[in-house]
């Protein structure tokens, strides 16, 4: 289990993905984008829109089941991207770098970008927006739903 949790809202994710696109403006133009499924699908769509990239491919790598990490398994390779030449790989987060290493092996010539990066995985990416501590579990908007919470005074504290 993670020590800390960091909740990202839809608005914040959209702002951060646009900030990533802004950072990537000078790196392109890109022939296409490879979204790492599932977490990178939405950030990749935002980046593709902002960079006006029309070719969006995906790579599916299964690494986690809830908060438990397993061995990575590629369930769909990014065939349209070849060796990655001219392509941008987008993910929501680089954590340990395991998924990034697998994708880099498939697309060694691609530029790898993510919205959020943890220290252990940071060397695996070329561009990112926000660094979070290694012991933080990010709760993305697709993993949560808003709900009522009692005021602190009624709960007796945090």
Considering only residues 40 and 4, tell me which one the structure prediction assigns the higher pLDDT: 40
Q: What is the mean pLDDT of the chain?
A: 93
pLDDT tops 70 at residue 1: no
The CATH architecture assigned to 4-145 reads 3-Layer(aba) Sandwich (3.40)
Structural domain boundaries in the chain:
4-145
Give the DSSP H or E segment for 101.
helix 98-106
Catalytic residue numbers, as ranges: 91-92, 95
pTM greater than 0.85: yes
**CA nearest neighbour of 70 among 44, 39, 43, 102:** 102
The pLDDT tens digits of the residues spanning 87-135 come to: 999 999 999 999 999 999 999 999 999 999 999 999 999 999 999 999 9
Query: What is the model's pLDDT at position 69?
Result: 72
Query: What is the model's pLDDT at position 2?
Result: 65
CA distance 16 to 129: 7
Considering only residues 81 and 146, tell me which one the structure prediction assigns the higher pLDDT: 81
CA distance 119 to 117: 7
Considering only residues 96 and 149, tell me which one the structure prediction assigns the higher pLDDT: 96
């Amino acid at each position: 289990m993670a020590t800390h949790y960091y909740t990202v809202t839809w608005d914040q994710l959209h702002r951060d993905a646009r900030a990533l696109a802004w950072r990537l403006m000078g790196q392109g133009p890109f022939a296409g984008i490879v979204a790492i499924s599932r977490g990178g699908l939405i950030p990749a769509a935002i980046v593709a829109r902002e960079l006006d990239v029309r070719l969006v491919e995906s790579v599916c790598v299964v690494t986690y089941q809830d908060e438990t990490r397993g061995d990575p398994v590629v369930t769909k390779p990014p065939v349209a991207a070849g060796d990655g030449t001219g392509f941008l790989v987008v993910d929501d987060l680089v954590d340990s770098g395991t998924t990034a290493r697998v994708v880099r092996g498939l697309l060694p010539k691609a530029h790898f970008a993510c919205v959020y990066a943890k220290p252990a995985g940071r060397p695996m990416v070329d561009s990112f927006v926000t660094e979070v501590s290694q012991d933080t579990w990010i709760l993305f908007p697709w993993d949560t739903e808003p709900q009522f919470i009692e005021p602190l005074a009624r709960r007796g504290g945090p």
